[in-house]
Chain A
Amino acid sequence: MGWRGWPWRRPLYWLQRLLHRHAALGPLFVLILSSVVFEVLRPGFLRLVNISLMLQQLAVLGCLAVGQTMIMLTAGIDLAVGAMMILSQMIMGELAINAGVNSVLALVIGVVFGGLMGLMNGGLIARVRLPPFIVTLGTLGIFTAIGLRLSGGATLFFGGSALAGSAISSSSNALLWTGTTLSVGSFTVTTGVLVMVGLYVLFAYVLAWTAWGRHVYAVGDDVEAARLAGVRVRSLITSVYVVAGVIYGLAAWVQIGRVGSVSPDISSTLNLDSITAVVIGGTSLFGGRGVMMGTLFGALIVQVFDTGLELVGVNALYLPLAEGVLVICAVALDHWIRAIRD
């Protein structure tokens, strides 16, 4: 065949094998490349101050993408991430501000509630056997509506507002702990960023080094093979959605610390943005392929484009365009990598 004679066939094949083995390599490359390009276009882009800022802006989406990654590895999808995070934080805020519940208890209840919402999704998907897309589209509406109803559409403020003179100071409030800043020279992060990094480290370990992690991949790869091998598929899928829900609860905590208030309509783009980050991070939409670090790179890429385009002074409309191109390229690359044969 003519194909055989092409001089770059061998290197291409090597590249394909390399990317097949190391799913985070592609996103890492894109991250470095785009960072360098923005540094060239706008010197100072990679200054520690700017990197600190990007990390802080990224923290919430970064946490959400951890849960989304595991769901997508099982060949599922979660359209309700953002809504679940918002409802979790509404519950934390209502309890701590309006009901005067101890902030640690409010935090725990909010996180547990995240897990319960995950249980609802997981139960409908694994037990009732409805498609993840439909279930989470449904719960997206449900959770959003409950969040709005609960708050009456109003934002709750911690400490800052005149009404809350009953002294909720940030030092004594566990819910605001994630907003605490830590500095090393000009590099400043919030504890929220550390929570995000902690989640990545923890779940990178869980996916790569525990039986549960292997089963997540196996179920996304070939459900029937996993079932015949003795994996309890339904409990596994349910547990993935519950774990994701708990992670969204922690993301709510990071969000509250970041802005010091609780609002029902912070950002409806979080739902899709988390999927964008995961896909750009090299996780296959069809399940079974991807790694946690890839998602971290994917989320960083989105943030780099976000901040970079703004700094360069490009119209904000180009961000979704850039993201769109990246998503399509990532999926095309995934197709090519999966077509590997010996």
Chain B
Amino acid sequence: MSDTFFSGAPHWTWFIIPYFYVGGLAGGAYFLAAILAWFGKPEDRPVVRAGYDVAAVGAIFSGLLLTVDLGQPLRFWHMLFQSENFPAVMFKAWSPISFGAWAILLFGLFSVLSALGARAEEGRLQNAALRAVGGVVRGGLAKLVSGVGGILGFFVAGYTGVLLSVTNRPIWADSPWLGALFLVSGASTGAAMLILLAPGRGAAQRSLEWLSSFDTRALVLELLVLALFLISLGSINRVWLSFWGLVLLVGVVGAGILAPLRLHAKPAQAARLVLLGGFLLRLATMLASEGIDRYRVAAGM
């Protein structure tokens, strides 16, 4: 039996599962927006703007979910500054939860800046102060912001899986592939969200085709990484002989990856399934591990 079965469950459930999902999706959407901002054409701008919006809303929502989940939400800032020694910074480069708190804060900042810049570009900002901020984020600066933000986006999408691996919990600490899996899933769900939202923002057909073809490739990669993840689990795979195994097989692999791959002629339908699959992936990997209780393991139950 893996030594991970003797640890305790952290109860990361109904706030953290959506947090991991939304954070991944927001990071993936921003990454795609940044790619188009750097290498795309003027016709891609609506997708870029939609990507920034998804990222900004997602980052703020993620921060809220993370905060509400704390046992002492008002002490959220203890992760950023030393509470007894303010304003000395609190940062542990070897602890994903520590550097992740900084990453989500910075990602929020960058995505809000980009979103404001994009809105100023469209002339959609009424508030003078916001218009002034948005007006600054243009041209070379906008590109720089999106470049750094794109990297932060992927960081946020992937660190959640790394965070789970840097524990002593079953499944999570038993495979080195969870960070990669969550990151690829963040990219595929980010693309899916943009496929659904960008048409409303006036996206060109060419940009949407690019999103769809990217999503198809990302799903193939996701399937590959999922396979590597399961192979690396070895004998731990017996935990999937449960309801969560069914969710993984039917919900994640079937509905979330294989069905959208078959449906790629109908991008909107495929995108909805990708979004569902991404959520079920977080749900199954989190709750399958959460359900393993140390004392029951020791008692052979």
A-B complex is real: no
B interface, CB within 8 angstroms of A: none
A interface, CB within 8 angstroms of B: none
